[in-house]
Structure 1
Amino acid sequence: MQALVNGAVIADAAPEDIVLIEGNRYFPPASIAAGTLEKSPTPYTCPWKGVCQYFDVVTPDGTRISDGAWSYPNPYDGAEERVGHAFANFVAFAPGATFTD
């Protein structure tokens, strides 16, 4: 499965490696295209997943989607059991990204 922004592939992973959480597809860290994510200072803490790290998504054509991606570097205790899969540092994408199978 691929995540794309303006036709640029920003993540590419086998479907079985994607973790679905609350309707969002989380891609493994190794599947993210180099140079497409820049840390954002936007703060957010999910009550059950933990402290979130937002990213701006930047494509080779210069398109920037502020806070267009996020991950949980250190999920709270019990979060991975609730999801049924490890998801630390997996990355999800906001609207603006499209997905292919």
Structure 2
Amino acid sequence: MKAIWNNQVIAESNDTVVIENNHYFPPSSINKKFFNSSDTASHCPWKGTASYFTLEVDGKSNADAAWYYPTTSHAAKPIEGYIAFWKGVEITE
């Protein structure tokens, strides 16, 4: 699977985990040069508190377009630390 934004592959892996129709990519699969930490956080009742990344590609910014759970509840352990995308990030094979 590939995550693409602004015509750039920002993550690629054969080992994504799909939960609620979102592909969660292993941390080792992202191209870190495109990811900047964000102060944004949100809470999911069954997964825990999510943190976000802003994507920066070729001078364009996509605020909070990637999220992850640094620490998950027991039920969501398979995605702990894994990164998912939204806000126009294309997920493709």
TM over 0.5: yes
Alpha-carbon RMSD across the aligned residues, in angstroms, is: 1.1
Computing the radius of gyration from Cα coordinates, the structure with the larger value is 1
Report the 3-state secondary structure (helix = DSSP H, G, I; strand = E; otherwise coil) of the residue aligned with 1:35: helix
Mind listing any 5+ residue stretches in structure 2 that lack a counterpart? none
Q: TM-score, normalised by structure 1?
A: 0.86
The percent of aligned pairs where both chains have the same amino acid is 41
Matched, 1:78 2:75: yes
Q: TM-score, normalised by structure 2?
A: 0.92
Give the AA of the match of 1:31: S
Structure having the higher strand fraction is 2
Instruction: Kindly state the Cα deviation for residue 63 of structure 1 after the two structures are TM-superposed.
Output: 1.5
Give the AA of the match of 1:41: D
Mind listing any 5+ residue stretches in structure 1 that lack a counterpart? 81-85
Instruction: Detail structure 1 runs of 4+ shifted over 3 Å in the superposition.
Output: none
* Alignment-derived partner of residue 44 in structure 2: 46
Q: Equivalent residues in 2 for 1:1-101 (5 A)?
A: 1-14=1-14, 17-59=15-57, 61-80=58-77, 86-101=78-93
Q: Deviations over 1:54-75 (max 9, x none)?
A: 110111x111100100000110
